[in-house]
Structure 1
Amino acid sequence: MAKERFDIKQHVTDTIIAQIEAGTPPWRKPWTGDVSGACLPLRHNGEAYKGINILMLWATAHVKGFSSARWMTFKQALELGGNVIKGQRATKSVFYGSIEREDENAPKGDESKRRIRFAKTNNVFNVDQIEGLPEEYYIRPEPPRDLGTEADPELEAFFASTGIEIITTEKPRAYYHPVQDHIHMPPIETFFTASGYYGTLAHEATHAACGPTRLNTQKVHANRKEYAFDELVAEIGACFLAVQLGVEPHFDQSAAYIECWLDALKSDKELIFKAAAEAQKAVDLINELAKGGDTQKAA
């Protein structure tokens, strides 16, 4: 009997659905241990994972209680002098590559080739599952900063440097206005914690990065399904950005959104990949803008 082909996209989607149904989607509580702060997962060489791999490795780290940021394959651990502890199970990560093949539709005699992209899986282990590695590989995340209700100068400077206009009034709503291209935020002192304020600001900044004057991936007049997807992108992007900035993410999406996300995920195994990819693009753009990049990124 032929071996059934492993469907990585269905595996990822099923994992995320299980996390949401259990009340712990990985972007809701993405820190890697009970006492450690949030951190972005890193490869064996210190390179940061991106997109869907962040969600997958966060999900496993949350369930297993891993504290380390770094992940590597069995072979990579051996090459570094380490050894995977007996009985430890690997986590799936996604690897994207491409190959060249002859274009069957090309005219006769034409040796044109086309590039085909593919997704493969790697079996990776968290450093907490490996013994004998050099000490520097056992990276422990710093705990999220307790900012209280005071503004943080570094975070204020970061968001200001993006060039995205942020308007503050007493109105108790946080939102991005795509037509006027600005973010509205209530005063920071009205939030229970400053980390909640900056997490919310990161959410709206992700919307702004996806807005019509930049990536242009979110519709100004969206239907319910499109709006829910845009909120999913913004929530994941906000989590990516908040963790990068050292702020514990805080999210409070309604039950209606959660139900809509679950329905969409169950009917489309590509959805979480699309959402994570869009969120990563938005965060990359925000970081580029903060470094002085062009704010006009419309497609």
Structure 2
Amino acid sequence: MSKHHRARSGQDRSCVYDEITDKIIAELEAGHVPWVQPWQTAAAQVSLAMPRNAATRRPYSGINVLILWNAARERRFSGHSWLTYRQAFSLGGHVRKGECGTTVVYADHFVPADEKRRAYETGEEAQAVSFLKRFTLFNADQCDGLPAEIATAAPPPRPGMIEPRVEALIRATGIDFRIGGDRAFYAPVEDYVQVPPPAAYFESINWHRTALHELGHASGHSSRLNRELGGSYSTKTYAFEEMIAELCAAFCCASLGIVPTVRHADYIGSWLEVLREDNRAILRAASQANKAADYLLGFLPEMSPAGNPVGGDQEAS
């Protein structure tokens, strides 16, 4: 790869980072938190879900979740199934004429042929080159002729499935989870989560939202995902970790059928400061949050039709 091509690729990546970050900043400045109720529209209550590819059923991750949630909210789509122009055609449908797609990104790395040759000749380790590729998606609402199971939005989970699943998840993680006191926090040195009792909350579901936020912090412990958790209050490190925990909780909530909320709205100012200084911060935060959510949800036990863990202790924690 030539120096000119590498420089141009770097400029392209920076442009993508700027576009995404500027969009998130604009949303926050306007008072919209992109990961809070992004599916709520004036026309309908969209079923809570993480965005998925309609053809492969694979979920999107990281920053693409925020991009697609925001597009669903702004354009009032009724579901979270997405696909490319070619995928719509391969499924027997088509994107309607005049529809505007949503740009998402794919990040990866590769080793150029000349770098492999250099490494072979010198005996050194080959250095990979990162790249960021854009591609365009269309919501199933923008297509005609798709199979019924794709065109129809899946119904939301039954309300009775929500709280037992969160409680079962808390137990299954094995994280020291304590109920009591008058504030919610994660203590990284002692490695435990503490959340006030459900009765202390105006709405009981907020107890579960808070629990998922604090579990998001706990996922970063050195024995788990090993994130930097040592920042003191009001520092950029602290604000960045709070952003990760907020996004992690939002991703977990959406996967469990719970509408996310902002636990600490007063952090928005510090988030804006971080985003304005680093155009890659939101991508890194979303990526780390996705890893945290995947880690936590990986403990989710199989549930019975009644909403109880199969073969597990069914008493509330």
Q: Which band: TM-score by shorter chain?
A: 0.7 to 0.9
How far residue 141 of structure 1 moved from its aligned partner, in angstroms, is: 4.4
Structure 1 unpaired stretches of 5+: 293-299
User: What pairs up with 1:173-192 in 2 under 5 angstroms?
Assistant: 173-192=183-202
Greater helix content:
2
Partner of 1:81: helix, strand, or coil?
coil
User: What pairs up with 1:144-183 in 2 under 5 angstroms?
Assistant: 152-169=163-180, 171-183=181-193
Are the aligned partners of 1:26 and 1:59 in contact in 2 as well (CA < 8 Å)? Answer: yes
Structure 2 residue aligned with 1:51: 62
**Distance of 1:5 and 1:186 partners within structure 2:** 47
**Distance of 1:109 and 1:209 partners within structure 2:** 41
Structure 1 residue aligned with 2:315: none
| AA aligned opposite 1:118 | F
Aligned length: 285
The correspondence for 2:90, drawn from 52, 71, 79, is 79
| AA aligned opposite 1:125 | F
Structure 1 residue aligned with 2:306: none
Structure 2 residue aligned with 1:127: 140
Are the aligned partners of 1:206 and 1:237 in contact in 2 as well (CA < 8 Å)? Answer: yes
| AA aligned opposite 1:11 | E
Compare 13-22 and 99-108 and name the one that shifted more: 99-108
The correspondence for 1:63, drawn from 70, 74, 82, is 74
How far residue 220 of structure 1 moved from its aligned partner, in angstroms, is: 2.8
The correspondence for 2:27, drawn from 5, 14, 19, is 19
Cα distance change of structure 1 residues 213 and 106 upon mapping to structure 2, 3 Å threshold: closer
**Superposition misfits of 4+ residues, deviation over 3 angstroms:** 104-115, 141-147, 288-292
Compare 178-187 and 190-199 and name the one that shifted more: 190-199
* 1:204 and 2:214 correspond: yes
Compare 233-242 and 96-105 and name the one that shifted more: 96-105
**Distance of 1:46 and 1:121 partners within structure 2:** 20
TM-score by length of 1: 0.86
| AA aligned opposite 2:59 | A
**Distance of 1:197 and 1:186 partners within structure 2:** 8
Are the aligned partners of 2:108 and 2:132 in contact in 1 as well (CA < 8 Å)? Answer: yes
Identity %: 34
User: What pairs up with 1:90-109 in 2 under 5 angstroms?
Assistant: 90-101=101-112, 102-103=114-115, 106=119, 108=121
Cα distance change of structure 1 residues 79 and 32 upon mapping to structure 2, 3 Å threshold: farther
**Distance of 1:197 and 1:286 partners within structure 2:** 17
How far residue 280 of structure 1 moved from its aligned partner, in angstroms, is: 1.0
Are the aligned partners of 1:191 and 1:197 in contact in 2 as well (CA < 8 Å)? Answer: yes
Are the aligned partners of 1:144 and 1:248 in contact in 2 as well (CA < 8 Å)? Answer: no
How far residue 165 of structure 1 moved from its aligned partner, in angstroms, is: 1.4
Are the aligned partners of 2:165 and 2:300 in contact in 1 as well (CA < 8 Å)? Answer: no
Structure 2 residue aligned with 1:287: 297
Structure 2 residue aligned with 1:37: 47
TM-score by length of 2: 0.82
Structure 2 residue aligned with 1:10: 18
**Distance of 2:203 and 2:156 partners within structure 1:** 16
Cα distance change of structure 1 residues 156 and 82 upon mapping to structure 2, 3 Å threshold: same
How far residue 196 of structure 1 moved from its aligned partner, in angstroms, is: 1.2
How far residue 179 of structure 1 moved from its aligned partner, in angstroms, is: 1.4
Are the aligned partners of 1:42 and 1:49 in contact in 2 as well (CA < 8 Å)? Answer: yes
Structure 2 residue aligned with 1:297: none
Cα distance change of structure 1 residues 13 and 221 upon mapping to structure 2, 3 Å threshold: closer
| AA aligned opposite 1:12 | I
User: What pairs up with 1:107-118 in 2 under 5 angstroms?
Assistant: 108=121, 113-118=126-131
**Distance of 1:38 and 1:23 partners within structure 2:** 21
**Distance of 1:18 and 1:173 partners within structure 2:** 31
Structure 2 residue aligned with 1:295: none
The CA deviation string for residues 162-211 of structure 1, in whole angstroms up to 9 with x for no partner, is 10111111x22111111111111111122222321111111000000012
Are the aligned partners of 1:209 and 1:282 in contact in 2 as well (CA < 8 Å)? Answer: yes
Compare 61-70 and 283-292 and name the one that shifted more: 283-292
Cα distance change of structure 1 residues 211 and 200 upon mapping to structure 2, 3 Å threshold: same
Structure 2 unpaired stretches of 5+: 1-7, 303-317
Partner of 2:57: helix, strand, or coil?
coil
RMSD: 2.5
Cα distance change of structure 1 residues 109 and 5 upon mapping to structure 2, 3 Å threshold: closer
How far residue 272 of structure 1 moved from its aligned partner, in angstroms, is: 0.3
Cα distance change of structure 1 residues 239 and 109 upon mapping to structure 2, 3 Å threshold: closer
How far residue 51 of structure 1 moved from its aligned partner, in angstroms, is: 0.8
Compare 279-288 and 54-63 and name the one that shifted more: 279-288
How far residue 155 of structure 1 moved from its aligned partner, in angstroms, is: 2.1
Are the aligned partners of 1:146 and 1:195 in contact in 2 as well (CA < 8 Å)? Answer: no
Compare 95-104 and 203-212 and name the one that shifted more: 95-104
